[in-house]
Chain A
């Protein structure tokens, strides 16, 4: 037994076992998420969703996975071979690496990093490389369009996402994800920083390429974008990654904004209860993302960019400035809520003002010229 303990104490062994556990967890969660999304969207759309494979279609994801693994792995004759074949890994690895630093409960994470939040946004920021590779190497114009859209979109939205997280980490006073969760023992940060939460959710939707920001993969325009030439196991890796990222951003949102396992159970709850509570909050965010998918049409690439650079980015700076002001002067916490809430109202006004009915002259000017 001593040998076994010693073996397990070895940081390499420990780390590899942790990674394997996370990998298995991701795959299981993704299978579940695919089923949940299909059922949830089906209910939104008055359908039943999968019903035939197993009771209530529970085995549908499994059947799909088997089908995908058994499919032929096609590569277009004129594709750039190595770039094409490595692109799925370049997408999958950053998302997977980010899970390393995510604390699932108070005592369980592969690694509790002192700069956990920084690490997570740093590695997820790499994922666009894979999409660009896929788009470029496929030798397909739709893929190229999609890849370019993905690159532009993911890089742009990285910025408001990071700035929103900067604002909350200022309030929490740390970048360590565990300490951030525990800083929310009394009140979750979503209450103090609603504007940052809004920016985070919008940017996360965009990073996830889900409606209304599914522009790189727009089915009705570029027919899957970078994924168009992929089949079989490589395509399923893209698919796996997109759901793994959904899980990742929901976990991050649950930990950073919704108080993770701490609020309001307190930090003395048992590990299973903590995991369950964390899973509940994560599921809530996942369902919000899915709800958006079932409701919204898709934005256009220029509208997406102007939302990012003209709305989210200034608001994120505003949020940082306001939070900084409150923190420097040591004003009470409710001042945070007041300032951030005002910012949220400003965001709502901007969105409303952009689409409200306008007098005829303005509309005609938009209609006759090209929309820049």
Chain B
């Protein structure tokens, strides 16, 4: 029996991150592993905390747009959209038709770039040596070129304003977007061909990190994470903002709530985004992009408002308490990834270390938004 005492097995804690290739930024999780199996997971967040909410309270609403760009830095148009809609609702501003259409186009193109980023990073997590990554980034580049032409910046756009847009789009905008959409559609098919039916990819992702619909709702998941569990909840349909109620698109849902379904849902969402952008391009007419009379200082009447938008990662919400000045008295950001990350422990425990990486990748988090 002495031998057994000498050779006891133990669970070792493995620290993953904040510097690790697949923690997507500065996330840290401490895994306790029994051999290859994860028996406990403790997530640590906050490495990218920059006080975005507090910063916004010291800036007027237009300056706050830049801060919101930097929280959700892979889908800044959605973050801006949540803020400007909240301010518009507080002030009772009417947004011109053309501005609404352009907002939709930009937001949906942004959804495609964001999901492309997901596909690239996720496939790298699953072990594809960069091939799907480069294919996804090619599509992303084409769309980012459009963003750059329109807004002057590739990632931090600062383009939406309470009431409308900062400036109008270039003259050849419609043709440019149409040309890129053709390419995007092909690109989505390319990725579909490369990954979806790949035996190894399926073996690695199916049945991994599954959540039931009830669990997902209890954890407060939103976006593709929630829809992969089979819950047909999309803020664009459930609480339509902008002019989404005028567009014809489907909300894809998954069946099993596993990592594979999350991937499939996002892939289909990209196709639906292409549909929405095409309809918006059809409806794009000349016209003003800002209301006639805009004051130089935007003073909101006292009150409070919450506005959520369906960002690529889920519900990105802005809660504003206004005291009647041109700055918010309090601003709270409802982060989609923060809520989505909370379910991580339940999803990972019992799986292998390799699965932990894939599950984390399937959450598609943006640390800037989690830590704010």
CA distance A47 to B134 in the complex (A): 8
Query: CB distance A298 to B126 under 8 Å?
Result: yes
A296 an interface residue at 8 Å Cβ cutoff?
Answer: yes
B138 an interface residue at 8 Å Cβ cutoff?
Answer: yes
CB of B132, distance to nearest CB on chain A (Å): 9
Q: Looking at A297, A302, A351, A360, which has the most chain B CB atoms within 10 Å of its CB?
A: A297
Least CB separation from A358: chain B residue: B206
Query: CB distance B201 to A301 under 8 Å?
Result: no
B36 an interface residue at 8 Å Cβ cutoff?
Answer: yes
CA distance A44 to B256 in the complex (A): 33
Digitize A196-232: 1 where CB-to-B-CB distance is under 8 Å, 0 elsewhere: 0000000000000001101100111111000000000
CB neighbours (8 Å) of B36 from chain A are 145, 149, 301-302
Query: CB distance B354 to A371 under 8 Å?
Result: no
Q: Which of the residues B15, B210, B355 comes within 8 Å of A368, measured between beta carbons?
A: B210
B302 an interface residue at 8 Å Cβ cutoff?
Answer: no
B114 an interface residue at 8 Å Cβ cutoff?
Answer: no
CB of A67, distance to nearest CB on chain B (Å): 21
Least CB separation from A45: chain B residue: B134
Known: A41-B130, A367-B207. A296 touches B355 (CB 8 A): no
CA distance A371 to B295 in the complex (A): 61
CA distance A218 to B352 in the complex (A): 14
CA distance A149 to B352 in the complex (A): 13
Q: Which of the residues B12, B37, B131, B201 comes within 8 Å of A370, measured between beta carbons?
A: B37
Q: Looking at B134, B135, B199, which has the most chain A CB atoms within 10 Å of its CB?
A: B199
CB neighbours (8 Å) of B208 from chain A are 371
CB neighbours (8 Å) of B128 from chain A are 211, 295-297
CA distance A354 to B203 in the complex (A): 8
CA distance A297 to B128 in the complex (A): 4
Least CB separation from B125: chain A residue: A220
Range of interface residues on chain A? 35 or more
A261 an interface residue at 8 Å Cβ cutoff?
Answer: no
Q: Which of the residues B129, B199, B207 comes within 8 Å of A371, measured between beta carbons?
A: B207
A1 an interface residue at 8 Å Cβ cutoff?
Answer: no
CB neighbours (8 Å) of B125 from chain A are 220
Known: A293-B129, A297-B128. A221 touches B22 (CB 8 A): yes
Query: CB distance B355 to A300 under 8 Å?
Result: yes
CB of A146, distance to nearest CB on chain B (Å): 11
Least CB separation from B23: chain A residue: A220
CB of A291, distance to nearest CB on chain B (Å): 11
CA distance A293 to B354 in the complex (A): 18
Query: CB distance B127 to A367 under 8 Å?
Result: no
B198 an interface residue at 8 Å Cβ cutoff?
Answer: yes
CA distance A7 to B130 in the complex (A): 53
CB neighbours (8 Å) of B353 from chain A are 145, 221-222
Query: CB distance A371 to B351 under 8 Å?
Result: yes
Least CB separation from B138: chain A residue: A46
Q: Which of the residues A46, A47, A211, A363 comes within 8 Å of B207, measured between beta carbons?
A: A363
Q: Number of A-B pairs whose CB atoms are under 8 Å? A: 120
CA distance A301 to B124 in the complex (A): 17
CB neighbours (8 Å) of B256 from chain A are 360, 363-364, 367
Q: Which of the residues A212, A302, A369 comes within 8 Å of B127, measured between beta carbons?
A: A212
Q: Which of the residues B194, B195, B354 comes within 8 Å of A221, measured between beta carbons?
A: B354
CA distance A309 to B37 in the complex (A): 20
A70 an interface residue at 8 Å Cβ cutoff?
Answer: no
Least CB separation from A290: chain B residue: B129
CB neighbours (8 Å) of A220 from chain B are 21-22, 124-127, 357
CB neighbours (8 Å) of B14 from chain A are 141-142, 145
- Interface residue ranges of A284-327 to B (CB < 8 Å): 293-303
Least CB separation from A141: chain B residue: B14
Q: Looking at B37, B125, B127, B256, which has the most chain A CB atoms within 10 Å of its CB?
A: B127
CA distance A366 to B134 in the complex (A): 32
Least CB separation from A293: chain B residue: B129
Digitize B133-167: 1 where CB-to-A-CB distance is under 8 Å, 0 elsewhere: 11100100000000000000000000000000000
A328 an interface residue at 8 Å Cβ cutoff?
Answer: no
CA distance A249 to B200 in the complex (A): 23
Known: A46-B135, A296-B200. A211 touches B257 (CB 8 A): no
Known: A46-B134, A371-B208. A297 touches B257 (CB 8 A): no
CA distance A18 to B138 in the complex (A): 49
CA distance A211 to B353 in the complex (A): 18
B71 an interface residue at 8 Å Cβ cutoff?
Answer: no
Query: CB distance B255 to A299 under 8 Å?
Result: no
Q: Which of the residues B199, B200, B201, B206 comes within 8 Å of A363, measured between beta carbons?
A: B206
CB of B229, distance to nearest CB on chain A (Å): 11
Query: CB distance B134 to A298 under 8 Å?
Result: no
Query: CB distance B351 to A44 under 8 Å?
Result: no
B202 an interface residue at 8 Å Cβ cutoff?
Answer: yes
Digitize A38-69: 1 where CB-to-B-CB distance is under 8 Å, 0 elsewhere: 00010011110000000000000000000000
CB neighbours (8 Å) of B203 from chain A are 299-300, 303, 354-355
CA distance A220 to B15 in the complex (A): 14
Query: CB distance A370 to B210 under 8 Å?
Result: no
CA distance A45 to B14 in the complex (A): 33
CB neighbours (8 Å) of B206 from chain A are 355, 363, 366
CB of A346, distance to nearest CB on chain B (Å): 16
Query: CB distance B129 to A299 under 8 Å?
Result: no
Known: A223-B21, A370-B37. A301 touches B134 (CB 8 A): no
Query: CB distance B210 to A360 under 8 Å?
Result: no
Q: Looking at A45, A221, A303, A370, which has the most chain B CB atoms within 10 Å of its CB?
A: A221
CA distance A222 to B20 in the complex (A): 9
CB<8 Å pairs between A and B, sample of 9: A141-B12, A212-B127, A294-B129, A296-B127, A297-B123, A301-B36, A355-B203, A366-B206, A366-B207
Write the residues of chain A forming the contact surface with B, with a CB cutoff of 8 angstroms: 41, 44-47, 141-142, 144-145, 149, 211-212, 214-215, 218-223, 293-303, 351-352, 354-355, 360, 363-364, 366-371
User: Other than the known A295-B194, A367-B258, what 19 A-B pairs have Cβ atoms closer than 8 Å?
Assistant: A41-B129, A41-B131, A145-B36, A211-B129, A212-B127, A220-B125, A221-B354, A221-B357, A223-B20, A297-B127, A297-B128, A303-B204, A355-B199, A355-B202, A363-B256, A367-B207, A367-B257, A368-B210, A371-B207
**10 A-B pairs with the lowest CB-CB distances in the bound complex, closest first:** A298-B127, A367-B210, A370-B350, A366-B207, A45-B134, A220-B22, A297-B126, A297-B127, A355-B202, A367-B207
